[in-house]
Amino acid sequence: MARFTQADLRELNQSFEERSPIDLLRWAKDVFGGRVAALSAMQRAGCVLCHIMGTHDLEIPVLFVDTGVNFQETLDTRDRVARAYGLDVITLKPRQSMEEQTKEFGILYLTPEGQKQCCSMRKIDPLQQAKGRFDCLIGSLRRAEGGKRGNVPILSVDPQMNCIRINPLANFTDEQLDQYLVDHEVIVNPMHSQGYTTVSCNRCTTPVLPTEPKRAGRWRHLGMWSAYCEINPTDRDGGLSKAIDFPQDLIDRLLGRKTDFAI
């Protein structure tokens, strides 16, 4: 195994800036084969990602974290997307129900510290169940979202999952996203038409006024509109500072090179 850092991706990231989402998805499939999966919470960008993968028959599975307190509309969207686009959606769940967690730890999401613990238990830990199965996870983060995602790289390392993260929609503007949704009649979570600019757990997500920031509806009760669940490494403080361990041949394939070990 060899250490692989964010710095090692610098040139590749630069070369990918002008590549289309489908080009990036095909690259990921070519490089990682059956060890690539997408991660979607079935929000607007995630549904676009699912549509692209499904319509181009990439045969990339989709990981969906069911926190146990999702809106029913989100679960229905997951099922509709899977059927319509012919996707293999793998649902991951926490080890405890929300009732079991509350009985043991209390209502965690009432404080900033508790919110992080709750998100870790209900989102990050379930995703960890897939650790070791995939060398690449495809996400739908966009720079147009602003905040910590304002400079999200197309490729990043994820030390927690020991994999590469790729965001094919990183350069998609809000206008491009809206146009794609309309042009392709993409299935979307109906919560978005009810004022929910982002949709997550029903305990911590509220509608947003037109004059508010897009993430104002997440953990509104904590007064932290910039809060994140941190399931994405680039949402974590210092999320790009560590390394992952990859086989040398995978690194060479990823970087498009062959290492000559002859002396």
Give Dmax (Cα) for the chain: 65
Domains and CATH numbers, the chain: 2-252 (3.40.50.620)
d(CA 69, CA 120): 14
Question: What is the tens place of the pLDDT at every residue in 225-255?
Answer: 557 777 777 766 555 658 999 999 999 999 9
Neighbours of 131 (CB within 10 A): 12
Summary mean pLDDT of the chain: 90
SS3 content of the chain, % helix, strand, coil (to 5): 45, 15, 45
Return the axis-axis angle of helices 21-32 and 44-55, rounded to nearest 10°: 70
- Inter-CA distances, 39 with 8, 105, 208, 263, Å: 23, 28, 24, 43
Beta carbons of 48 and 169 less than 8 angstroms apart: yes
Least confident of 7-16, 107-116, 175-184: 107-116
Least confident of 59-63, 220-224, 246-250: 220-224
Question: What is the tens place of the pLDDT at every residue in 80-130?
Answer: 999 999 999 999 999 999 999 999 999 999 888 898 899 999 999 999 999
Q: What is the pLDDT of residue 98?
A: 95
Nearest alpha carbon to residue 15 among 176, 261, 255, 215: 255
Q: Indicate if the pLDDT at residue 41 is higher than 90.
A: yes
Nearest alpha carbon to residue 44 among 164, 182, 209: 182
Q: What is the pLDDT of residue 258?
A: 59
Q: What is the pLDDT of residue 94?
A: 97
Q: Indicate if the pLDDT at residue 15 is higher than 70.
A: yes
- Specify the 3-state DSSP secondary structure of 18: coil
d(CA 2, CA 252): 11
Q: Indicate if the pLDDT at residue 224 is higher than 70.
A: no
- Inter-CA distances, 182 with 46, 179, 224, Å: 15, 5, 32
Q: What is the pLDDT of residue 256?
A: 87
Question: What is the tens place of the pLDDT at every residue in 142-158?
Answer: 998 877 777 899 999 99
Q: What is the pLDDT of residue 147?
A: 76
Nearest alpha carbon to residue 171 among 197, 153, 198: 153
Q: Indicate if the pLDDT at residue 56 is higher than 90.
A: yes
Q: What is the pLDDT of residue 221?
A: 82
The owner of tokens 């790289």 is: 153
Beta carbons of 259 and 252 less than 8 angstroms apart: yes
Q: What is the pLDDT of residue 260?
A: 47
Confidence of residue 64 (pLDDT cuts 50, 70, 90): very high
Nearest alpha carbon to residue 42 among 198, 235, 236: 198
Beta carbons of 22 and 52 less than 8 angstroms apart: yes
